[in-house]
A = this chain, B = another copy of it.
Amino acid sequence: MRATLLPVSVHIVVFGIRCEGLAVLLLPRAEMWSLPGGGVEDAEDIHGAALRQLAVQTGLRDVYMEQLYTFDHLDADTVQRTVAVTWYALVPSASSFTKTAAGEWFAVEALPALPAEQAGIVHLARQRLAAKLEYSTIALQLMPERFTLGVLQAVHETVLGTALDKRNFRKRVLAWACIEETGEMAREGHHRPARLYRVTRPGSVEIIK
């Protein structure tokens, strides 16, 4: 007996910080904006396919990426059904990454019309990200190489959609073992300079909290 074969695709919700807000990277396609992604080939596994599509379509490499959920009937409006493995990725803010070759960043609160179910995928990804903020150090994946605690707090507030107490926030993140002072100061703006921190083990997300 021959196994049934199906088209399998990957779709990636790429999050970044733009203009002080959480943003999603979309590509122009078929008269509509759409999530990066595409079909999985024979020679690659689904994780590799997602990384490849990201690199080819957006130029992004070495970003943090996690699997989100696997949907079916994603392309219900087309004749062909597709098994869609979805992922979300986080790119550092203010880095060269945010100036990608193709695609455009949209504030997560103001997305354009998307193909079937993609809006739901973005929503789910955002929920997952917000949940992880509460019990992990995942927000550091959205940070540039050097960052101030003020910016880190702003990112948290942006993703969670709520204001946080400065002192309580600093207490919490300074207890994390995975960030450390650089010794340098951010000298910008007409105000007191802020200490610059960096991540000790980039790419690793600790579950501690």
CB within 8 Å of B: which residues of A? Answer: 3-8, 39-42, 45-47, 67, 69-70, 72-73, 80-83, 85
Q: Are B45 and A73 in contact (CB under 8 A)?
A: yes
Instruction: List residues of chain B with CB within 8 A of the CB of A42.
Output: 4, 6, 81
Instruction: List residues of chain B with CB within 8 A of the CB of A40.
Output: 4, 6, 83
User: Quick one: closest B residue to A1, CB to CB?
Assistant: B39
* Interface-central residue, A46, A47, A81, by most chain B CB under 10 Å: A46
Instruction: List residues of chain B with CB within 8 A of the CB of A73.
Output: 45
Q: 17 interchain pairs (CB within 8 A)?
A: A3-B7, A3-B80, A4-B8, A4-B40, A4-B41, A5-B6, A5-B7, A6-B8, A8-B8, A8-B83, A40-B83, A45-B72, A45-B73, A45-B81, A47-B72, A70-B85, A83-B83
A49 to chain B, nearest CB (A): 9
User: Quick one: closest B residue to A46, CB to CB?
Assistant: B72
Instruction: List residues of chain B with CB within 8 A of the CB of A4.
Output: 7-8, 39-42
Q: Are A69 and B67 in contact (CB under 8 A)?
A: yes
A83 to chain B, nearest CB (A): 5
A81 to chain B, nearest CB (A): 7
Instruction: List residues of chain B with CB within 8 A of the CB of A6.
Output: 5-8, 40, 42
Bound Cα distance from A41 to B82, whole angstroms: 12
